[in-house]
Amino acid sequence: MAMPEEEIRRIERVRIAASPIVPAAIDVARVSWGGVWSGFCVGLGILVLLGALGMAVGTTMVGPGLADPQAFGTRAGLWTIASALIALFTGGVVASRMGTAVTRGAGAIHGMLVWVLALGSILAVAAAGFSTGAGSGLFAGTNMRAVAGDLSSLATGEPDEIVARLDDPRTADVVVSATGMPREEARAELAAISFRVRAARNDPGRARAEARAGLEEIASRAATRAEPFVRMASWAVFAGLVVSLIAALLGGTAGARPFPLRVPV
């Protein structure tokens, strides 16, 4: 007598349930770019959200009664740094959870890739800023050579024209904006150069040389003064990159969830 089909299926189910199980072979080293992009987008959204919150709080606090604007600016900078670290940590967590990170090492790699994408976007924005001249302060030592050339253009023409430019108050504003020196110091330096040019008025070549040498000296002095700040800014950038990378790595590690995948054989 033939066995009923229902009985055959029941026996097969029992046989499968009783079969030994082994861990599934999975590639834990594979990078999930979908998870990485998800972490990057979520981190960017959190950064924008925290930035909007900081702006709202800041605009509420700013007013005629603000006692210490410098302290307020310091707090705003600290809030920006904290927001970036929170965003990177969260992005690393999301990248690991949404991806295939089942080990801490794979999670750390996902977090690092989120950091790389964030760094790339920052560099793209910075490149746009440099193209418009907004980022020249980070390269003050190189930029001062260009500043010297711009200031030397004031030493062209006849001696009377040079004196008129040096005595013009707008020239002091140009020097202050180009070199960052105090306004009173810029005026004193320009007055000294103007005096030397007047003394050599009868020799136009010497007058132009005096003006050019004085303006180049202003640019050189400003570059020397800026060097410590440039070094400090360089180390601050390096430290910020390291701390932000650590935040992303910790987020990726925290987001990794080791779990056994087992399939019947």
Q: What is the pLDDT of residues 219-260, one digit of tens each?
A: 777 777 778 888 898 899 899 999 999 999 999 999 887 655
What pLDDT does 17 receive? 58
DSSP 174-236: HHHHHH---HHHHHHHHHHHHHHHHHTTT-HHHHHHHHHHHHHHHHHHHHHHHHHHHHHHHHH
pLDDT at 126 over 70: yes
Does the pTM exceed 0.85? no
Q: Is 50 exposed, middle or buried (0-12, 13-18, 19+ CB in 10 A)?
A: middle
What pLDDT does 41 receive? 95
Confidence grade of residue 190 (pLDDT, cut at 50, 70, 90): confident
Q: Which region holds residue 81: left if phi is over 0, alpha if psi is between -120 and 50, else beta?
A: alpha
More confident residue, 2 or 47: 47
Q: What angle do CA 85, 88, 91 make, to 5 degrees?
A: 150
Q: Which residues contact 176 (CB under 8 A, 6 or more apart)?
A: 182, 183, 186
pLDDT at 175 over 50: yes
pLDDT at 131 over 60: no
Q: What is the pLDDT of residues 64-102, one digit of tens each?
A: 555 566 677 788 889 999 999 999 999 999 999 888 777
Q: Which two tokens stand for residue 117?
A: 């994408």
User: Ranked by mean pLDDT, which of 2-11, 146-155, 198-207 comes out on top?
Assistant: 198-207
Of 115-129, 146-160, 179-193, where does mean pLDDT reach its minimum? 146-160
What pLDDT does 261 receive? 46
Place of tokens 């930029």: 143
Amino acid identity of residue 64, one-letter, is P
What pLDDT does 44 receive? 94
